[in-house]
Chain A
Amino acid sequence: MNYHLNHLRELEAESIFVLREVAAQFERPVLLFSGGKDSILVTHLAMKAFHPAKIPFPLLHIDTGHNFPETIAYRDSLVEKLGAKLIVGSVQEAIDKGMVVEEKGYNASRNFLQTAVLLESLENGKFDAAMGGARRDEEKARAKERFFSHRDEFGQWDPKNQRPELWNLFNGKKHYGEHFRVFPISNWTELDVWQYLAIEEVELPSLYFAHRRKVFMRDGIYLADSEFIPKRPEEEVEERMVRCRTIGDVTCTGVWPSEAQSIEDIIKEVSTARQTERGGRADDKRTETAMEDRKKQGYF
């Protein structure tokens, strides 16, 4: 008998362990659900971790109001299927209330306003642990994250002073008012995610597969033509076969020319890709340490 797990099953076992650890160590955990493949994966793993019981924590969606409509449809049907509780933190409401100020200009994006709304939603729900689908291979600052990432009462990350994290012992102890961000799929790569979603036959939003869409080029990246993105005069809309590699806010999610119709096609595409998936994310391109700066302020 060969007592040996392949890499996907080993990653699965690790993530399930982390999810159960969160349920055991925290009083009010919450799962951040963005509608992207990574949060879909975390949700799928949570479903497996607590089977046959329901997922013992709610899902929280920080809604910028600038979504692909497909994302919301997918979210609602998933929540219904799981019998989970959904909480929505609305950026639009925060703007209306004057809590945050909308950016102006061609590159305006509500992505940055998410942080304030996220922190407020966590506070309102008195959540002490927020789980997310961030992966270390996504970005160089994320490569430095612990599974259990301690945040002070302002939600800030202090990358120079992280708690040591050894073996599979996760220290979730904290003072009143502090909380944790937890990243159960830290060790998965983009390719692992797709391979796993394929063998698990997980249903995915249509945006991940090639479809015809009106797009335009900005800074070398195709963006979806949408009422939420003002175009410069020289930017011309064209129709192309494209798909998303990540799904976030419409204003900063690049779409990629692609013919991939199935997960198998996507795996082929991803394993020969020459650009990282976040290569299409305008929010990372603002400065060299854009991600680290946002994380220090409490971004995911």
Chain B
Amino acid sequence: MDFQNNELLRFSTAGSVDDGKSTLIGRLLYDSKSIFEDQYDAIKTTSERRGEENVNLALLTDGLKAEREQGITIDVAYRYFSTPKRKFIIADTPGHIQYTRNMVTGASTANVALILIDARNGIVEQTRRHAFIASLLQIPHLVVCINKMDLVDYSEEVYNRIKDEFSEFSYKLDVRDVHFIPMSALNGDNVVDKSKNMEWYGGGSLLYFLENVHIGSDHNLIDCRFPVQYVVRPYSDEYHDYRGYAGRIAGGVFKKGDKVMLLPSGFTSKIDKIVTYDGELEEAYPPMSVTLLLEDDLDLSRGDMIVRENNHPTITQDLEVMVCWFNDRPLQLRGKYALMHTTQEARCVIKEIRYKLNINTLHRDEEDKKIGMNDIARVVIRTTKPLFTDSYRRNRITGSLLFVDEGTNETVGAGMII
């Protein structure tokens, strides 16, 4: 069946409040004919009841009562559509600063981030914050959507001015691939179809970009990393002594017969079998979920890691981390937090706050070390036991961690290992 070869692309929206993110997603779904009649009828009725002139396409993603009342997005909405070329998972995120953590939630797994800018206002603080977060999260591709062009007479000059200003800013960011598209999410210009109102724009529509951007190299296929997630023990006569190490490949290509090293013990063994329900595999690569059997009977449990002998991660209790703080209780110097890293859990203490980042200027503030909600800072932590890490730049899975408050159990911060 031909549907079996569709590729999956995840993208998220970003940008300030009211810049048109939800409207854009609604337009993308509508113009790509991904909206069902009953969905359309429902938002039409709601729009009419609220006395809106047009059908408000943002209502397709703003599904919560509180969001509809206030006309803003509060939490991420996930939407799906596909074209013959790809299947898309969209995370429509809130622009409001108070909900930055939800923006980060939606963006953390994205291949592409769409950053919206209201052409009338140009770049504002939230644009910078979100662009910076996108670069921190190492989202491989950024598309800057200069929106509401209908309100600035589709002016090429306005577009160029914003484009130049953003380029100057993004030059200081760690982003690999930036594109610019002038559009009107409201009217659909350059969303699915190319706009007739902006002949001066030589590039393609947003959908054209999303269908064609190359995402094949977004996984690390070099450094073999297999965090043990769960030990499969059937306890049956047929599978006596069976110990399968279940998990998801976090990096590299594992092959049957490979010599491997186990962390933290440092013992070595060989991969005896790569097991799935559908049969044995010769090799496994990210993001596959498999079960590994080893030749030797060794003690391994959740949180341990299987790697290659000549290429192993950093084994350390001392980490330098960029942290994005989510909680209204500020990050505490010398405070203790629970940590989640791959399938491992530990505790940590914040040993030092190196600097807080000023989002507007990217200036490193070494004086003001109060790290509150939505702040981004560089910290030094020490953990209760060794973690097996790579830099986030090298591997998004082995390089990321969560800070959890030990009293409330809330996720209070996200960390990217430097």
Show the binding face of A for B, using Cβ within 8 Å. Answer: 3-14, 16-17, 20-21, 23-24, 47-54, 136-137, 139-141, 143-144, 146, 159-160, 162-169, 171, 173-175, 186-187, 189, 191-192, 195, 198-199, 264, 267, 273-276, 279, 288-289, 292
Q: Mark B229-253, 1 if CB is under 8 A from A, else 0.
A: 1101111101100101011100001
State the Cβ distance, A263 to closest chain B Cβ, in Å: 10
Cβ-based interface call for B221 (8 A): yes
Smallest CB separation, A2 vs chain B (Å):
9
A140 and B63 form a contact (CB under 8 A)? yes
Contact code string B217-229 (vs A, CB < 8 Å = 1, else 0): 0010100000001
Which residues of A are found within 8 Å of B37, using beta-carbon distances? Answer: 274-275, 279
Q: Complex formed: what's the CA distance from A13 to B250 in Å?
A: 12
What is the CA–CA distance of A155 and B216 in the complex, to the nearest angstrom? Answer: 41
Of the A-B pairs whose beta carbons lie under 8 Å apart in the complex, a sample of 30, sorted by A's number, is A6-B8, A7-B7, A9-B288, A11-B8, A24-B229, A24-B230, A50-B246, A51-B232, A52-B275, A137-B80, A141-B64, A159-B66, A162-B75, A164-B326, A164-B414, A167-B109, A167-B396, A168-B397, A169-B340, A169-B341, A169-B401, A171-B340, A171-B402, A171-B409, A187-B80, A189-B82, A195-B1, A274-B36, A275-B38, A276-B39
Mostly, the B contact residues are mixed
Q: Is B404 an interface residue (CB 8 A)?
A: yes
**Does the CB pair B65–A292 fall under 8 Å?**
yes
Cα–Cα, bound, A160→B302 (Å): 33
Interchain CB contact under 8 A, A166 and B414:
yes
Which of these, B221, B341, B400, contacts A3 with CB under 8 Å? B221
Complex CA gap A6/B1 in Å reads 12
Chain B residues with CB under 8 Å of A20's CB are 229-230, 246-247, 289
Q: Chain A residue with minimal CB distance to B407?
A: A175
Q: Which residue of A lies closest to B402 (CB)?
A: A169
Cβ of A136 to closest chain B Cβ, rounded Å = 4
User: Bound complex: CA of A57 vs CA of B105, how far in Å?
Assistant: 29
Q: Are B46 and A288 in contact (CB under 8 A)?
A: yes
Of all chain A residues, the one with the shortest Cβ separation from B49 is A288
B83 to chain A, nearest CB (A): 12
Max count, chain B CB within 10 A of own CB: residue among A3, A23, A162, A175: A3
Going nearest first, the 3 A-B pairs with the smallest beta carbon separation are: A140-B63, A48-B277, A173-B409
A3-B253, A288-B42 known; A50-B232 Cβ under 8 A: yes
A-B contacts besides A10-B287, A52-B242, A136-B80, 14 pairs, CB < 8 Å: A3-B285, A16-B289, A20-B230, A24-B343, A137-B78, A159-B74, A166-B400, A166-B414, A167-B108, A167-B109, A167-B400, A168-B109, A198-B1, A274-B36
Q: Are A187 and B404 in contact (CB under 8 A)?
A: no
Quick one: closest B residue to A44, CB to CB? B277
Q: Is B114 in the interface zone, CB < 8 Å from A?
A: no
Contact A276 B234 (CB under 8 A): no
Say whether A171 contacts B232, CB under 8 Å. Answer: no
**Total chain B interface residues with beta-carbon distance under 8 A:** 80
Mask: chain B, 79-101; 1 = CB below 8 Å from A; 0 = not = 11010000101000000000001
Q: How far is the CA of A21 from the CA of B227 in the complex (A)?
A: 12
Q: Report whether B46 and A164 are in contact in the complex, using a CB–CB cutoff of 8 Å.
A: no
B183-225 interface (Cβ within 8 A of A): 216, 219, 221
A5 and B104 within 8 A (CB): no
Give the CA-CA distance A279 to B287 in the complex, in Å.
34
B57 at interface, CB cutoff 8 A: no
List, in ascending order, chain A residues with CB within 8 A of B230's CB.
20-21, 23-24, 50
Which residues from B are CB-within-8-Å of A174? 409
In the complex, what distance in Å separates the CA atom of A198 from the CA atom of B4?
Answer: 11
Q: How far is the CA of A80 from the CA of B185 in the complex (A)?
A: 53
Q: A24-B343, A198-B1 are in contact. Are A49 and B246 (CB under 8 A)?
A: yes
List of A residues within 8 angstroms of B78 by Cβ: 136-137, 143-144, 186-187
Report whether A13 and B287 are in contact in the complex, using a CB–CB cutoff of 8 Å.
Answer: yes
Q: Which of A141, A267, A273 contacts B36 (CB 8 A)?
A: A273
What residues on A are CB-neighbors of B292 within 8 Å?
A: none
- Tell me, yes or no, whether B125 is within 8 Å of chain A by CB: no
A199 touches B1 (CB 8 A): yes
Residue of A23, A54, A160 touching B234 (CB-CB under 8 A)? A54
Interface residues of B in 163-181 (CB under 8 A from A): none
Residues of B within 8 A of A171 (CB): 340, 402, 404, 409, 411
- Given A160-B74, A167-B108: A6 and B63 interface contact (C-beta under 8 Å): no
Distance to closest chain B CB from A117 (angstroms):
25
Answer whether A8 and B4 are a contact pair too, CB < 8 Å, given A17-B289, A163-B411. Answer: yes
B82, B108, B239: the one within 8 Å of A166 (CB): B108
Could you tell me if A144 and B289 are in contact, using CB atoms closer than 8 angstroms?
no
**B104→A166 contact, CB < 8 A:** yes
Say yes or no: is B276 at the interface (Cβ < 8 Å to chain A): yes
Min CB distance B89 to A, Å, is 6
Q: Which residues of A contact B396 (CB under 8 A)?
A: 167
Given contacts A53-B235, A199-B4, contact A289 B65 (CB under 8 A): yes
A292 x B36 contact (CB < 8 A): no
Using Cβ atoms and an 8 Å threshold, which residues of chain A touch B7?
4, 6-7
The answer, among B1, B89, B276, B409, for a CB contact under 8 Å with A48, is: B276
- Residue pair A52, B77 in contact (C-beta under 8 Å): no
Are B36 and A164 interface neighbours, CB within 8 A?
A: no
CB distance A17 to B77 under 8 Å?
no
Shortest A276–chain B CB gap in Å is: 4
A160 near B409: Cβ-Cβ < 8 Å: no
Chain B residues in 8 Å Cβ range of A186: 78
Contacts of A276 in B (CB 8 A): 36, 38-39
Q: Render B38-67 as a binary contact track against A, CB cut-off 8 A, 1 for contact.
A: 110010001000000000000011011110
When chains A and B are docked, how far (Å) is the Cα of A195 from the Cα of B5? 12
CA distance in complex: A279, B40 (Å): 11
Assuming the A-B contacts A163-B410, A187-B80, are A7 and B8 also in contact, with contact meaning beta carbons closer than 8 angstroms in the complex?
yes
From A13, A23, A52, A144, contact of B63 by CB (8 A): A144
Q: A287: nearest residue on chain B (CB-CB)?
A: B65
Does the CB pair B234–A187 fall under 8 Å?
Answer: no
| Least distance between A278 CB and chain B CB atoms (Å) | 8
Which residue of B has the minimal Cβ distance to A142? B63
A137 near B79: Cβ-Cβ < 8 Å: yes
Contacts of B8 in A (CB 8 A): 6-7, 10-11
Q: Which residues of B contact A16 (CB under 8 A)?
A: 248, 289
